Amino acid sequence: MKRRRQNKALTQAATPSAEAQWVVGTLALITLVFLLSAGLAQAKPMQSELHKFSVVTVASGLNHPWGMAFLPGGDMLVTERNGGVRLIRDGKLVKQPLVGAPKAYARGQGGLLDIAAHPKFAENRYVYISYAGSGEGGAGTEVARAKFTGDALEGLEVVFKANPKTSGSAHYGGRLAFTPSGDLLVTLGDRYARMKEAQDLNSHMGKVIRIRDDGSIPSDNPFTKREGAKPEIYSYGHRNVQGLALRPGSNQIWTGEFGPQGGDEINIDKPGANYGWPKITYGEDYGGGVISDKTALPNMEQPVVYWRPSISPSGMTFYDGDKFPKWKGNLFVGALSGAHVRRLTLQGDKVTAQEALLEDEGERIRDVRQGPDGFIYLLTDESNGKILRLEPPQ
Ligand SMILES: [Ca+2]
């Protein structure tokens, strides 16, 4: 009995010590988590030809983030390829994906793709989302819009479906941009059907299209009066366009597309124009086969620049902010296989210099955008994908 009491006393004596250990352990863990999150927010200094800059991790833990949209008031929406639309509010990633997103065919390169806010978002709350949608025949690029209520998407409504749907899960295109007149541009890949579709005006594959915000056809689209042509088509002969940017101070639409092995291109997109794929190309088939022995043909557009070997140009943007004055007017292109951000200096419509930024980071860059704050935002294409921000050094 006495011994038992003694044991109990020992046990009791041990309890505060265990608690103390627990408290110390928890404090250490909290400190570690704090230090780690402080580390995430910490700016990593970088040197480039024209500017020193810092890379800040805004958020991590995103599943292959694909597109981003900045909303008035400071919110930011980011798509994840596996189906999530994520909200970044007050600079922090909200834990749960938004309810009400379109159901995407998330396989291969398919899934949720880009997201864009309506130019009059402040009035109508519309956001537009592109994605791979499944249906009869396989899958194809679709665009839907919904109203962002502040914590959910409501009233999802499909405004465009690429026709035909086909098997396979590659080359959806999917980049979105609004023109100054309020029309929506959508890029559509060739779905890896290179022998025919991109040149066929009766197919949406391998095209850039232009629609009104409700999905109807602008009357001045180039092929509205041509029999057998899809009236949404704005330009054709593309392979897989994932770069789309309007050049500030001009009416120019610039696109970037993946070539096959070699032959990635940046083009100035003109209504009705043919960009040549697969009749002309600076690339070759994977493994070295010939796709075309021609790099130019009459009535087919030449790229502003092409890359051999490939860098895999994805999202891109012109910089016109005031945070990096010497980068003003430059085109920034996210490179996937190249794993860097390519900065292009332009003189008129000519590329006069190129620089690879963030090469040492080795991140596949899916999208590049300029934020309303004048900083440059990047998405990394990883299962633990990140939103990175380039800002002047602190
Ligand atoms: Ca071309």
Q: Which two tokens stand for residue 201?
A: 């005006």
CA 71 to chain centre: 16
Phi, then psi, of 36 in degrees rounded to 5: -65, -45
Q: Give the number of C-alpha atoms closer than 13 A to the C-alpha of residue 315, restricted to the C-beta side.
A: 26
Rounded to an integer, what distance in angstroms lies between the CA atom of residue 359 and that of residue 49?
13
Helix (H) or strand (E) holding 365, with range, is: strand 365-370
DSSP 113-152: EEEEE-TTHHHH-EEEEEEEEEETTEEEEEEEEEEE-SSS
How far, in Å, is the centroid of ligand 1 from the Cα of 234? Answer: 15
Cα 158 from Cα 102, distance rounded (Å): 9
Ion ligand 1: residues, CB < 5 A: 275-276
List pLDDT tens digits, range 305-354.
Answer: 999 999 999 999 999 999 999 999 999 999 999 999 999 999 999 999 99
Determine if the peptide bond prior to 222 is cis (ω within 30°): no
Annotated catalytic sites, by residue? 171
Tell me the chain's radius of gyration from C-alpha atoms.
25
Beta strands in 224-304 (DSSP E): 233-236, 241-246, 253-257, 264-269
Residue 174 CA, ligand 1 centroid: distance in Å: 18
pLDDT over 50 (residue 39): no
AA letter at 260: P
186 CA from centroid of ligand 1 (Å): 17
CA of 266 to the centre of ligand 1 (A): 8
Distances (CA, A) of 50 to 54, 287, 349: 13, 38, 21
Domain ranges of the chain: 47-391
Q: What is the mean pLDDT of the chain?
A: 91
Contacts of 348 (CB under 8 A, 6+ apart): none
- Answer for the pair 172, 191: CB distance below 8 angstroms, yes or no: yes
Beta partners for 69?
77
Lookup result for tokens 């080359």: 171
Please report the pLDDT score of residue 22 as a whole number.
62
- Centre of ligand 1 to C-alpha 160, Å, is 25
| Distance, CA of 169 to CA of 154 (rounded, Å) | 28
> What pLDDT does residue 212 have?
98
How much distance in Å is there from the Cα of 44 to the middle of ligand 1? 37
Residue-level pLDDT at 26: 65
> Hey, which residues does 54 pair with through a beta bridge?
45, 391
Amino acid at 141: T
With pLDDT > 90 as the criterion, what percentage of the chain qualifies? Answer: 86
| pLDDT recorded at residue 19 | 60
Neighbouring C-alpha atoms within 13 Å toward the C-beta of 372:
9
> What's the half-sphere exposure (Cβ side, CA atoms, 13 Å) at 159?
26
pLDDT in tens, 59-99: 999 999 999 999 999 999 999 999 999 999 999 999 999 99
**Would you say residue 38 has pLDDT above 80?**
no
Per-residue confidence (pLDDT) for residue 3, from 0 to 100: 41
Lowest model confidence (mean pLDDT) among 35-44, 79-88, 201-210? 35-44
Q: How far apart are CA 66 and CA 315, in angstroms?
A: 9
Angle, CA of 245, 165 and 138, to the nearest 5°: 120
Full-model pTM: 0.89
Q: Distance between terminal CA atoms of the chain?
A: 69
Helix (H, G, I), strand (E, B) or coil at 213: coil
Q: Name the CATH superfamily, with its identifier, for domain 47-391.
A: TolB, C-terminal domain (2.120.10.30)
Report CA(259)–ligand 1 centroid distance (Å): 8
For 217-237, the pLDDT digits (tens) are 999 999 999 999 999 999 999
Residues 311, 313, 314, CA angle at the centre, nearest 5°?
140
